[in-house]
């Protein structure tokens, strides 16, 4: 998620932190897939540990990995990538808290969650446009997040357990899997291609949009 290097640019203190953040994201998302599809344990006694297990992965990988990567990006003067990763890391802390509460049989206030989801979709739509000036792959990565939040918001207006609620939940699960796949692919592009000295993982070069000179 770094901007293209400029000639004679000063050395940055850290290596490219984006793979760390994206790998943390993919692992955190993987922990949420069974929940999104409703694959809960049949035995109610197993539910607390089911939610606690997912909560821990969200806290350590989703929140911890992205927070560390975000701070490193900001230290590298990558404001766009650092802002996205750091902001999203706090949302993973909320995911941890929601799941931890679920493990104790308590549900968070849905009206507050809806309000925050609306704020997030506005943020991500703008950031999707911004990342389009750097990379096609990052642009579609953000588009998938946009779609995920659209489905989350739509689900707030359906009755829990209804057919439409389940259908939207399936949509959330599918977009989550797509997010894992794109995040992993970007990470592999950034980690493996430089090590191999060739495009083991092909990627379309160039941005989605062309910046207009000031």
Average confidence score pLDDT of the chain: 92
Element (H, E) at 68: helix 66-75
- Please state, in angstroms and rounded to a whole number, the distance separating the CA atoms of residues 140 and 138: 5
Percent of the chain with pLDDT over 90: 85
Give the count of alpha carbons within 13 A of 151, CB side only: 20
Here the tokens at position 126 are 């703008």
Here the tokens at position 144 are 């998938």
**Residue bearing tokens 């191999």:** 196
Residue 5 lies in a domain: no
Residue 116 lies in a domain: yes
The domain in which residue 81 lies consists of 18-196
Residue 57 lies in a domain: yes
List the single range of 171-175, 197-201, 203-207 with lowest mean pLDDT.
Answer: 203-207
Cα Rg for the chain, rounded, in angstroms? Answer: 18
pLDDT band at 39 (very low <50, low <70, confident <90, very high): very high
Give me the number of domains the chain comprises: 1
The pTM for the full model equals 0.90
Q: Is the pLDDT of residue 183 over 60?
A: yes
Q: Is the dihedral of CA 150, 153, 154, 160 positive or negative?
A: positive
List the single range of 7-11, 62-66, 198-202 with lowest mean pLDDT.
Answer: 7-11
The pLDDT value recorded for residue 4 is: 43
Query: 1 to each of 26, 80, 143, 165, how far by Cα in Å?
Result: 16, 8, 15, 34
Residue 11 lies in a domain: no
């Amino acid at each position: 998620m770094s901007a293209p290097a400029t000639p004679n640019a000063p050395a940055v203190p850290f290596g490219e932190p984006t793979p760390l953040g994206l790998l943390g994201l993919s692992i955190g998302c993987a922990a949420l897939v069974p929940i999104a599809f409703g694959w809960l344990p049949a035995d109610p006694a197993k539910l607390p540990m089911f939610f606690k297990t997912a909560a821990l992965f969200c806290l350590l990988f989703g929140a911890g990995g992205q927070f560390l990567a975000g701070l490193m990006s900001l230290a590298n003067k990558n404001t766009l990538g650092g802002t996205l990763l750091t902001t999203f890391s706090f949302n993973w802390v909320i995911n941890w808290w929601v799941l931890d509460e679920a493990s104790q049989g308590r549900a968070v206030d849905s009206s507050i969650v809806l309000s925050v989801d609306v704020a997030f979709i506005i943020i991500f739509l703008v950031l999707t446009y911004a990342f389009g000036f750097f990379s096609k792959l990052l642009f579609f990565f953000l588009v998938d997040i946009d779609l995920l939040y659209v489905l989350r918001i739509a689900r707030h207006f359906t009755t829990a357990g209804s057919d439409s609620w389940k259908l939207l939940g399936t949509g959330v699960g599918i977009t989550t899997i797509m997010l894992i796949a794109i995040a992993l692919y970007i990470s592999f592009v950034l980690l493996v291609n430089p090590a191999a000295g060739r495009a083991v993982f092909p990627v379309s070069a160039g941005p989605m949009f062309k910046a207009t000179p000031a």
